[in-house]
Amino acid sequence: DFFNRINLIYGTISDYCTEQSCPVMSGGPKYEYRWQDEHKYRKPTALSAPQYMNLLMDWIEVQINNEDIFPTNVGEFSSSCG
């Protein structure tokens, strides 16, 4: 539910934060966020804010839907939760 709400909020902001208006994913003038994953971006890579957020939201959705991390059946927990 939290993920869905964040996704809705991001959807409203994304109309104003485009590749042109937000060319860097940053947390102010001193902080730049770079994307790294095990697939396409093996080294920290500077991306526009929309690109970064799309990758982030996709990654979060994969984690949330991973039964090994968040089981949906009662009584089943991953060894990583203990």
- Where is the binding site for Zn(2+), in residues? 17, 22
By the 8 A CB rule, do 42 and 67 touch? no
Decide if 68 contacts 41 (C-beta within 8 A). no
Question: Annotated binding site: which residue ranges?
Answer: 17, 22
Residue 78 C-alpha from the chain's centroid: 22
Helix axes 49-64, 2-13, angle to 10 degrees: 170
Closest CA to 23 of 45, 50, 56: 50
